[in-house]
Amino acid sequence: MTSLLEYRSNRIVELMEEPAEHRDADWLKESLQQAMMLELATLPPYLSAMWSIEPQSGEVLKAFKRIVFDEMSHLGLAGNMLTTIGGVPRLGDVHAVPKYPGPLPGGVRPSLTVFLSGLSKESLDLFARIEEPDNPIADAAAQSHTSIGAFYTAILEAFRDHADLITGGHQLIRDMEHHGAGNSLVALNSLADVEAAIDVIKEQGEGIGASPENPHPGVTGELAHYFVFRELFRGRKLVKVAENPDRWDFSGDVIAMPGTRPMGTVPDGGWGAPGQPAPDAETQDLLDQGNQAYSRMLDHLEDAWQANDPDTASGFLDEAVFKMVSLRGPARTLMLREVPGGDGRTYGPEFRYVEG
């Protein structure tokens, strides 16, 4: 299974190059495993940036919370797509878990190097490029490769060709409408359910083409992730400046960067990697706590999707959520501890998978 799970591969690009007539059940299962790895890859950098924001920082912090909850929902929906066709999600595996700094999985946006750090202009630019649609309606950058949205479009086309594969089996269900429309984990029992799930994933991240607005918002006027990150990077609200056709520009109210804890960039191999100053015992304990919580969260998610009984699955999902919440404490404490010789920069979570 190494080829299926190897994070640093070109597998998504290879899957996208397969002709439509070869996109069968095995193609869908492998593509959806890669999609889950892709969704997982966004969470650690977004969480690191969010946790570095001081709690009183208002709207910027709220925007990050909404995006993080969206991405968690996307991971869950991708998992339900895989299990509804008889696949088994693999997350608790050293091969499947992202390693930072490094690329997105499967060869998506190969020019990007994804890193873990506190919130900064550099990290905001990275986040926008991760979420970038093929044809952004504002602030377009040169296209270098297929987008996440294009990959999901290919997955949807394969589902339309093989709707008979959809069984509704091993679905995780969780009402999360309080985080925004479309954020609940729902059972995918039909092609229409799958189409709706992929619409949520694509539109929350990229927008709908003609508008930057998120059609599944948590609050009125919420933008798709790409445009939120571009607003924060540019320091100006995105506003409509013309109609028929609509034109948008970053010329609205000023958005000030919030106060943050100065988390540095996690080095390749982690804070204690060769060539890096060894963390003291207390810092290492906090790093270990975070890595253990992250790893067990992924293990519990796997267990939840594999459970035959809905109540058992719900229990494992509860455990995964608990581990997710428990990551925040060690992470925030690490961001108060300076890295030796780091010019005032502090530690932060590593998000490394460790065997249980």
Q: Report pLDDT digits (tens) over 319-343.
A: 999 999 999 999 999 999 999 988 9
Q: Is the pLDDT of residue 210 over 90?
A: no
DSSP string, 143-171: --S--HHHHHHHHHHHHHHTGGG----S-
**Structure-model confidence comparison of residues 33 and 204, the more confident one:** 33
Q: Is residue 300 within 8 Å of residue 313, measured between CB atoms?
A: no
Q: Enumerate residues 6+ apart whose C-beta is below 8 A from 75.
A: 36, 39, 40, 43
DSSP string, 105-139: GGGSSTT--B---SS-HHHHHHHHHHH--SS-SSS
The one-letter amino acid at 202: K
The one-letter amino acid at 196: A
Q: Report pLDDT digits (tens) over 86-121.
A: 999 999 999 889 999 999 998 888 889 999 999 999
Mean of the per-residue pLDDT values of the chain: 90
- Residue listed under structure tokens 């709690």: 55
Q: What does pTM read for this prediction?
A: 0.92
Whole-angstrom CA distances from 267 to 11, 49, 307, 321 are 25, 16, 37, 27
Rounded mean pLDDT of 199-222?
76
The pLDDT value recorded for residue 141 is 47
The pLDDT value recorded for residue 229 is 96
The pLDDT value recorded for residue 137 is 45
What is the band of 220 on the pLDDT scale with cuts at 50, 70, 90? confident
Q: What tokens were used for 246?
A: 């609509």
The pLDDT value recorded for residue 139 is 53
CATH of domain 2-260: 1.20.1260.10
The pLDDT value recorded for residue 1 is 36
Backbone φ/ψ region at 2: left (φ over 0), alpha (ψ -120 to 50), beta: alpha
The pLDDT value recorded for residue 298 is 97
Query: Would you call 1 exposed, middle or buried from its count of C-beta atoms within 10 A (0-12, 13-18, 19+)?
Result: exposed
Per domain, the residue ranges of the chain are 2-260, 261-356
Q: Report pLDDT digits (tens) over 144-188.
A: 446 788 899 999 999 999 999 999 999 999 988 776 667 789 999
